[in-house]
Amino acid sequence: MTTILATRPPATASPARRTGTRGSRVRRTLYWIATHALAVALSLMFIGPLVFVALTALMTDAQALTGELWPDTWNWGNFAEVFARSHLLDWLGNTFLYAGLGTLFMLLSSVPVAYAMARFRFRGRKLAFLAVITMMMLPPQVIAVPVYLIWARFELTGTLWPLILPMLLGDAFSIFLLRQFLITIPKEYTEAARVDGCSDFRTLVRVILPMARPAIAAVALFQFFYCWNDYYGPLLYAQINEENWTLSLGLASFRALHSVQWNLTMAATLLVMAPVIIVFFFAQKVFIEGVTLTGVKG
């Protein structure tokens, strides 16, 4: 006896179910847009100019700033032309020297000061903290003339050393930010280290610094970005010597020479911005963590 098995056709969703699924998906999308509308608007506000700069950098000179937002041809040679018409590599090296040494010197001087203000009890401690806050509110232009005369006597004008060497004396904002973070670390850690026979320096290096890495990374990035974008300092001290120009000073000169060639100006701007964007992209996690964990206690 032969049994014939009837094969049931595969079940398909009914039109009503498909319509319901599509409707729920639309509702979820609209809910997401409504929830993140402010974040999306702010993202477009910040990303829009960057996209405009990138697209203009790839246009021809005739098409740049003509109202057309999309390049007719992709002119990647604009970046090579920027290198050919400027000393971009020299400016890049000077900027890395300024930003790198300035950040290193700031950390070497500011971390011990912040540790002392957060952990040590000494006479005049509150007065020292008030002096740090006062220095934060003091514009650099106020003391520009006497400081320039001091560096002129040492014959260091025309170089970047008047901007790098003062970092050995600390930075007020970095000291403040590090101090605010260090006072949130429980004192039991330092007391346990002293019981084990650690000196203050060894306690700082072995116990405090590993726990304060987010805050140190945050102030390091702040200082690095400040030096990278600094225009006033190099203009004041290095303007007379083109060999010591930084990217900000060189870009201003390049824009003045090629003000009618906006494609080259935008290409140079994008090249100057690229290293900072790359650094922040890889360090944003620890940077945000350091800023978030830095409290306002004390």
Contact 198, 221 (CB under 8 A): no
Q: How many CB atoms lie within 10 A of CB 168?
A: 13
Contact 136, 173 (CB under 8 A): yes
Asked if residue 8 has pLDDT above 90, the reply is no
Token pair, residue 117, equals 């203000």
Contact 151, 87 (CB under 8 A): no
Asked if residue 82 has pLDDT above 50, the reply is yes
Question: Does the reported pTM lie above 0.75?
Answer: yes
pLDDT-based confidence at residue 290 (cuts at 50, 70, 90): low
Asked if residue 263 has pLDDT above 90, the reply is no
Q: Can you tell me which residue has the tokens 């006062």?
A: 134
Instruction: Tell me which residue of 141, 119, 138, 139 sits closest to 130, measured CA to CA.
Output: 138
Instruction: Tell me which residue of 105, 219, 120, 125 sits closest to 170, measured CA to CA.
Output: 105
Instruction: Tell me which residue of 153, 163, 130 sits closest to 245, measured CA to CA.
Output: 163
Token pair, residue 286, equals 């620890």
Half-sphere exposure of 24 (CA within 13 A, CB side): 5
Q: In sequence order, which ranges of 37-143 are alpha helices (DSSP H)?
A: 37-57, 77-85, 88-119, 125-136
Token pair, residue 297, equals 């206690």
Token pair, residue 195, equals 């019981």
pLDDT in tens, 202-260: 888 888 888 888 889 889 988 998 999 899 999 999 888 888 999 999 888 887 776 67
Looking at residues 139-167, what average pLDDT do you find?
Answer: 90
pLDDT-based confidence at residue 151 (cuts at 50, 70, 90): very high
Taking CA atoms, 114 is separated from 88, 132, 170, 289, in Å, by: 37, 10, 10, 19
Token pair, residue 93, equals 């090296």
Asked if residue 48 has pLDDT above 60, the reply is yes
pLDDT in tens, 99-125: 999 999 999 999 999 998 888 888 888
pLDDT-based confidence at residue 23 (cuts at 50, 70, 90): low
Q: How many CB atoms lie within 10 A of CB 79?
A: 17
